[in-house]
Amino acid sequence: MNFKSSLLFAKRILFPKSGRSSIARKSLLGSVLCIGVSLIPLVAVLTVSNGMIKGITGRLVSLSSSHLEAVSFEKNPERLEDAALSAKEIQGVTGVYPMISFSALATANSKRRGVQVRALPSGVFKDYESYKELFEAVDGSLEDFSNEKNGVLIGQGIAEKLSIKAGDKIRLVVAAKNSALTTAPLVKAFYVAAVVSCGYRELDGLWLFMPYEKAKSFSRQVDAAFSLMCESVDPFSKDLKKTQASLKKALGKQWRVYRWDELNRSQYENFSSTKILLIFIQLLIVLVAAVNISSALIMLVLERRREIAILKSLGASSRGISLSFIMTGFACGAGGLLFGLPLGLLLSVNINEFIKFAEKAINFAMRGLSFFANSDIMGVKQIRLLDEEYYLKVIPIEIPFGDLFLIAFATLLLSLAASLLPAAKAGKQRPIDTLRNSR
């Protein structure tokens, strides 16, 4: 029995004569559907998790540590500015700005709140895409944030806590060291140029932005951190390590240079481990679906015992019979793959629209339940599946073709493995016993 004969028998198993149907064949079709259905969430989870991890990480990186952060041991604003000019000449660095950060106590209207002050050049909110895209003025104008004016930008959470708005006065109290090397409170008065929001409630209640020139005058007196925030073309590129090494070499021993994944290691590893766990669970579902192929093929072998016996009596080899059933199982896996992979990609590409539809459906159901329960419909809190205060406004979609290829290969391999046992059982059947028992 040659390969062509095995292929024809496998075709006969999958597509029997019209009008002929059986429980085993229906089970085989069910196994194809099971594999396809199990692949839909697997592809969606893989695509959406990649987009969400990259989107959330990119947002956090742009807000907190930038792509590379160089920290100086010297508290010298002038040297910090000179280092920024040197860093701009390094290949791979697309933008550099100095930053002085320190903790302070903000007071207004007899209220107090601890804040993290970030002293930045006034052009940062105009020249850098990350600041222009991620920050918006809730009250006031970002145009008033300049070195010539005594205005600061405060987060929306700080404004709510202190009950202030754009144009109001705010005082900052910092612990400063005097000439006698003793610590005393230093009070600086500013006005609120604008109330800003980056979308994260936690950060909106923490950050206060001050013009860089205003912080230079007293930065040596306070316990401040002097940093260079460096941006590159792509924070997820492998070339970022080379840029880090070049930056270390150019700045010297008085500097420490960190990548964003080093500064945000715990968060990034948490995202990655969650993604791996989700994919592992989905792969287990695919494995269970592949086992259905094995059970369906065993039923087919039992149904086709007489046909197998006749083929063997006519000279068909055990290897050829086994190969036919292996081809059948492989075809079932390929059919499930052709069914589930496109649907999974279709769901992934339209995941934002699907989430909006699900939100509307859930909120409509909640209002309906409130109506029948005679409660206040208007008081029902709107449920948001994707809250931008914790995640993203829109999930960026990035199709991982390499990972999808591995999923397709693993699915076909599982289908092939699941068909080996039934195929071996079909090949070992003795035709004389089968024909004798079928009388």
pLDDT above 80 for 200: no
Among the ranges given (16-30, 146-160, 264-278, 334-348), the one the predictor scored with the smallest mean pLDDT: 16-30
Q: Could you say which DSSP state residue 332 is in? A: H
Q: How many CB atoms lie within 10 A of CB 288?
A: 12
Residue 337: CB atoms within 10 A of its CB come to 20
The mean-pLDDT minimum among 132-141, 207-216, 286-295, 363-372 falls in 363-372
Dump pLDDT digits (tens) for 38-91: 888 888 888 887 777 777 777 777 777 788 899 988 878 888 888 888 888 888
| Section 397-404 average pLDDT | 83
pLDDT band at residue 430 under the 50/70/90 scheme: confident
- Short-list 229, 292, 327, 318, CA closest to 12: 327
The rounded distance, in Å, linking the Cα atoms of 112 and 290 is 62
* Confidence band, pLDDT 50/70/90 cuts, at residue 164: very high
Global pTM value: 0.66
244/10 Cα distance (integer angstroms): 58
Query: Are 412 and 405 a contacting pair, CB within 8 Å?
Result: no
Angle at 132 (CA atoms; ends 398, 165), nearest 5 degrees: 130
Look at residue 434 in the predicted model and tell me its pLDDT.
60
Place of tokens 């895409």: 129
Instruction: List beta partners, residue 188.
Output: 172
pLDDT, greater one: 255 or 14: 255
Burial of 250 (0-12, 13-18, 19+ CB in 10 A): middle
- The reported pLDDT for the residue numbered 48 is 82
| 393 band by pLDDT with thresholds 50, 70 and 90 | low
Q: Which of 129, 167, 122 is nearest to 145 (CA)?
A: 122
